[in-house]
Every structure is written in structure tokens, then in C-alpha cells.
Amino acid sequence: MDKIPILRMGQFLLVTIQIDLYDRLALNLETDLVSMVHKTGARGVLIDISAVSIVDSFMGRILGNIASMTRILDAETVVVGMQPAVAITLIELGLSLTGVHTALDVERGMALLETKLGPMDLMADEDDNSE
């Protein structure tokens, strides 16, 4: 069964979705991601969907859910690299993904996460180091 890898990058988690998500896979990703955030204490999640060409309302909802869930666990979610067609589809479906941060590409997404969590994280880093 397909599995979407979740990579740890410092205090962030990086998820690159390289295939079109089907419902089961999306649900698994949601579960895996939330438990990873909990386990690693990550402060940010970056989801790259630049290779995703098709979305439906379910997939849109999953993205929204992931953002809400990680927020409860004190992590911000950034979705990057959305294709124009995907953006238009989501808007037409009435899903504007409020609460999800967005960026053009992974680099800018990382920069966004860093500015979002900047001052606090220096402290978090120190805590990590001291432990």
C-alpha cells in the first residue's frame, strides 16, 4: 500500500505529495501526520502539493482538517505549490481553506514558517539543545 513519507527538518515536518491522493491515502496521511506532530513536537508542517493535479472536496477538507488538528498541537500548516487548476477547483467548490497558510514554493513556505514562529522558536531550540 502506498504511503506518503513525512520527513523531519529541524522543528518542521515536510510532506511532499507526489501522486494524486485517493481518499484512503489522504485519511492515512492525516493520521500519520497528526501523530508525527505529536511525537516530534514539530512547530510547523509544510505540505507540498505541486505534483497534485486533481483535488475533490474530500481532499480539500482533509487539508483543512490537518491544519486545524496541527494548530491544536501548536503547529502551523503551510500548503505550497498549488497548481492553478487545483486552486480554481477548490474555490469553485467553495473551499477557501481558511486557517491554512499558503506559499508559492517550498523555499517560501519554509521562510513563512520561520517568520511565523521566529522569536518563540529560538527559545524552543535552546530548550531542545539543553535537553
Partner 1 sequence: MATGIIQLLKRHKAQVLDTWIQKQLANEELREDLMTNDDLRTQSEELIDMLAKTLTEENINQIDSADFDEVFELLATISISRARQGFSPRETGLYIFSLKEAIFELLQKQLVDAPATLYTEVLKVSRLLDSFGVVTLETFIKGREEVIYRQTEEIADISTPVIQVWDGILALPIIGTLDSARTQVVMESLLQRIVDTGSSIAILDISGVPAVDSLVAQHLIKTVSATRLMGADCIISGIRPEIAQTVVHLGIDLSNIITKASLASALKHAFSMNKLVVKRIDVVEKKAF
Binding site for partner 1 (CB under 8 A): 79-84, 86-88, 90-92, 96-97, 102-105, 108-109
Output the CA–CA distances (angstroms, integers) from residue 47 to 15, 58, 70, 80, in the order listed: 5, 16, 12, 6
Report in angstroms how near the CB of residue 123 gets to partner 1 at its nearest. 25
Q: Return the number of the residue (118 or 123) whose C-beta is nearest partner 1.
A: 118
Report in angstroms how near the CB of residue 57 gets to partner 1 at its nearest. 14
Dihedral sign (CA 12, 102, 108, 52): positive
Report in angstroms how near the CB of residue 38 gets to partner 1 at its nearest. 27
How far is residue 3 CA from its own chain's centroid? 16
How far is residue 48 CA from its own chain's centroid? 7
Q: Return the number of the residue (92 or 131) whose C-beta is nearest partner 1.
A: 92
Report in angstroms how near the CB of residue 70 gets to partner 1 at its nearest. 18
Q: Return the number of the residue (37 or 80) whose C-beta is nearest partner 1.
A: 80
Q: Return the number of the residue (111 or 124) whose C-beta is nearest partner 1.
A: 111
